[in-house]
Amino acid sequence: MSSKTIATAVLLASLLVSPVHAASDLVFLNRSLFPERPWTPLTPADGATAGAGRAVDPAASWSRNPALLARAGEAHVRLDALALDPQRNDIRAQTDDYSDTSPFVSVGESAFRWARGDLALGLFVAQDAYQRSKEVYVTSVPSFGPIVLESRSQTSRARAGLGAGFARGALAAGVALELNRVREDLEFLPSAEAQSVGAIPARNDVHGTALGAAAGATWQANPWVVVGADARFAASPKLKDESGAEVGTDELPPAVDLGMHVGKGRGGNLLFGASYEGPRDVALGDSVGRGTDHDPERVHVAGAYVYRPASAQWEFRGGFGWSPHPKDGGARYTRTGVGLGYDLEGMLVRVSYARDARRDQGRNSSRNWFVLGVDLKL
């Protein structure tokens, strides 16, 4: 949030906003990252490869492509943890002073897989996006001087579901039924000096749930090449406040992944991937006419290299991804990642570092991900 935006918000608040409407105006005052949630690595393998091969790699998300449940080998339980360090360089450069409380810890994908013959079932919880922040700004208001503003936000999108995968020869297919939950919790805490010029403390906590589904398939084209695809869609949840009243709407965009794996497992392997995410419109309620936030549709492409020695149980992964500016001028993203894995007796351990960088109208910001995950062989 730039100093001009804050000052404008404060002045508008003093002129237009009464305490009755403070909560509905919070989206305007806070300027949270909602609804733009470009990417979260659900597993260490996905983080290391920047999303490449997500539709064909069993070490990537089982819930993203449920067909991977049938190709996951001996892994039966998955637990993943993420630490995120956001770098809001765009805010830091445009205010008198700025601080935040990053990094924070969240959960990627946790799943239990049960297999019998060619059929595999999976119960999973996956958090496609999670952002928590406590940011303090010092900015100047014309004809008054410096004031201190504090914003707190928590935004998340999570899925819980049941998936099934089936393998027959070179072909594997899968489907999943999911319950999606979205939440946006915003809080605006101006200092006493800021309140004296009209800034009003406020909080707004909205959430919604909706059913969704996913389907996917992989095909072993020859001993060297595996190709795959998956698709996901969900209904648009109605957002409710803490009293249960409907105050807005969300839109969970459809998504499609295409992937290719080239290699025989041991030695060098190449992963390629492309994904599409549809447009998203979100309305959280806004009495100053801000209306609906729009996140345009976007395409993401990525490539990665995976190396597994013939006689050792470790692996190395590295990848790069790119998302160009959409047609209506959205931000461009680049992603990089590296990771290591080791196969212990009864447990696969993987760790990765991933970074995504955003360029938008001359402003730069980034996020650093540290992901640790284990697949247990029960």
- Which amino acid, 237? P
Picking from 193, 241, 198, 237, the residue whose alpha carbon sits closest to that of residue 24 is: 241
Contact of 57 with 68, CB cutoff 8 Å: yes
Q: What is the pLDDT of residue 98?
A: 47
Picking from 166, 152, 200, 140, the residue whose alpha carbon sits closest to that of residue 33 is: 152
The DSSP line for 147-196 is: EEEEEEEEEEEEEEEEEEEEEETTEEEEEEEEEEEEEEEEEEEE-HHHHH
Q: What is the CA 21 to chain-centroid distance, rounded? A: 31
Contact of 353 with 85, CB cutoff 8 Å: no
Cα distance between the two ends of the chain: 49
Rounded to two decimals, what is the model's pTM?
Answer: 0.82
Q: Which CATH class for the 40-93+103-133+153-185+202-376 domain? A: mainly beta
Q: What is the pLDDT of residue 24?
A: 41
Max CA pair span of the chain: 75
Extract the tokens encoding 206: 């909205």
Q: What percent of the chain has pLDDT over 70?
A: 81
Extract the tokens encoding 338: 């590296």
User: Which phi and psi angles does 116 have, rounded to 5°?
Assistant: -145, 110
Q: Which residues contact 360 (CB under 8 A, 6 or more apart)?
A: 90, 330, 331, 332
Higher pLDDT, 49 or 251: 49
C-alpha torsion 109→103→299→1, nearest 10: 140
Extract the tokens encoding 80: 């993943």
The residue assigned the tokens 């935006």 is: 5
What digits encode the pLDDT tens for the residues 109-147? 999 999 998 999 999 999 988 877 777 777 777 777 777
What digits encode the pLDDT tens for the residues 162-218? 999 999 999 999 999 999 999 888 788 888 877 887 777 877 788 999 999 999 999
Q: What is the pLDDT of residue 286?
A: 55
State the number of CA atoms in the 13 A half-sphere of 262 facing the CB: 8
Give me the chain's average pLDDT, please.
82
Q: What is the pLDDT of residue 367?
A: 82
Measured distance CA(271)–CA(317) in Å, rounded? 10
Extract the tokens encoding 153: 């936000």
Band the pLDDT of 5: cuts 50, 70, 90: very low
CA 372-321-259 angle, 5° bins: 85
Q: Which helix (H) or strand (E) holds 9?
A: helix 3-16
| pLDDT for residue 296 is more than 90 | no
User: Which phi and psi angles does 191 have, rounded to 5°?
Assistant: -70, 175
Measured distance CA(79)–CA(164) in Å, rounded? 19
Q: What is the pLDDT of residue 241?
A: 84
The residue assigned the tokens 């915003």 is: 186
- Domain borders along the chain are 40-93+103-133+153-185+202-376
Contact of 195 with 227, CB cutoff 8 Å: no
